[in-house]
């Protein structure tokens, strides 16, 4: 392009996505009095044209809990439908419902959650057959989300998962696959590369599923579910983050040791889904589960160690500035 005798070039379009892991704002009536203020410490670091989180639970005042009275091993979450607006005010554009808590309050909870998200202008992904399509400028991005359950997009059903990823590729030039997969807890920080189980449930093989997703055309794979950070791998030119941990968990899950470490991931992709750049912001959770940006970069150091141990020469390195350096 020539303007006033000077040749100029137009930068090719890109798309930038920020993502956090599990977000859980309590269980009515035990919810933060000011949920936006509870989220606020992460708002600036999270800012991006497209913002993603896993919604751990439901937004409803109806339905019955899946847990039987007195069962201290069972967790069921519901917050008021009005909390959807809190997520939107934080900047979230896509929330995931492919997890083990999306049906905590039965079909009423599922319906109310979907309605609340839609009315607040947030795209939802992860329910059976559901793909969310959003934009960054002119670039369309499809989110296709999975968990190891038949009442979500099922990551244990590989043929169906491949078909959904193929459908997402027809809907958008950039495809993000999310997986709620793997064992849970402080000792679940490594990617075992085998099927992982928790409380007797098959939680899938995150390593195999992520590789299949990339093979089928995914541009980026992100994950949470273990409630702890995991490593980051570069596979066939694409980024795989195996767990972003918990972004917030209001007074429900234990926060100690490695479980206090979390992160905000920013990834910029080309209009065709190629990796351009990325950054990793370390987050630390308080004892009550509130997230704060961590100036000591503890999460980054932890993830670098995990990535080296689990992926060797395919490990992504987080540098001192938080930039992601794919292997050469």
With a pLDDT cut of 70, the percent of the chain lying above it is 96
What's the pLDDT score for residue 6? 61
| Burial class (CB within 10 angstroms; exposed 0-12, middle 13-18, buried 19+) of 271 | middle
Low-confidence stretches of the chain (pLDDT beneath 50): 1
- Are 307 and 231 spatial neighbours (Cβ–Cβ below 8 Å)? yes
What's the pLDDT score for residue 4? 55
Domains of the chain with bracketed CATH: 11-325 (3.60.21.10)
CA angle 226, 187, 200 (to 5 degrees): 65
Give per-residue pLDDT as tens, 23-53.
Answer: 999 999 999 999 999 999 999 999 999 999 9
What's the pLDDT score for residue 254? 64
What's the pLDDT score for residue 169? 98
DSSP 100-157: TTTTTTHHHHHHHHHHHHHHHT-EEE-STT-EEEEEETTEEEEEEEEBSSTTS-BTT-
- For 47, phi then psi, to 5°, come to -55, 130
What's the pLDDT score for residue 252? 62
What's the pLDDT score for residue 287? 87
Contacts of 324 (CB under 8 A, 6+ apart): 232, 239, 267, 277, 278, 279, 280, 316, 317, 318
What's the pLDDT score for residue 253? 66
């Amino acid at each position: 392009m020539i303007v006033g005798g000077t040749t100029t070039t137009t930068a090719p379009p890109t798309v930038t996505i920020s993502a956090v892991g599990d977000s859980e704002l309590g269980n009515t009536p035990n919810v933060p009095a000011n949920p936006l203020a509870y989220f606020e410490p992460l708002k600036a670091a999270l800012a991006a044209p497209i913002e993603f989180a896993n919604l751990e639970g439901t937004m409803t005042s109806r339905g019955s809990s899946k847990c039987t009275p007195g069962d201290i091993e069972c967790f069921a979450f519901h917050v008021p439908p009005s909390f959807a607006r809190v997520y939107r005010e934080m900047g979230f554009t896509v929330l995931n419902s492919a997890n083990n808590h999306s049906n905590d309050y039965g079909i009423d909870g599922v319906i109310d959650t979907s309605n609340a998200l839609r009315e607040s202008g947030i795209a939802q992904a992860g329910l059976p057959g559901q793909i969310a399509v959003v934009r960054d400028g002119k670039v369309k991005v499809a989110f296709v989300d999975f968990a190891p359950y038949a009442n979500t997009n099922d990551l244990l059903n590989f043929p169906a998962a491949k078909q959904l990823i193929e459908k997402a590729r027809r809907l958008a030039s950039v495809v993000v696959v999310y997986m709620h997969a793997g064992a849970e807890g402080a000792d679940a920080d490594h990617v075992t590369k085998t099927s992982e189980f928790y409380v007797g449930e098959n939680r899938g093989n995150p390593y195999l599923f992520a590789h299949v997703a990339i093979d089928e055309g995914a541009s980026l794979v992100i994950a949470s579910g273990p409630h702890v950070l995991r490593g980051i791998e570069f596979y066939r030119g694409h980024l795989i983050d195996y767990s972003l941990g918990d972004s917030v968990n209001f007074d429900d899950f234990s926060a100690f040791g490695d479980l206090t470490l979390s992160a905000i991931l920013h990834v910029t992709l080309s209009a065709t889904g190629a990796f351009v750049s990325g950054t990793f912001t370390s987050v630390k959770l308080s004892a009550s589960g509130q997230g704060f940006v961590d100036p000591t970069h503890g999460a980054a150091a932890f993830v670098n160690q995990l990535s080296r141990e689990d992926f060797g020469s395919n490990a992504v390195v987080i540098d001192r500035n938080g930039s992601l350096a794919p292997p050469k």
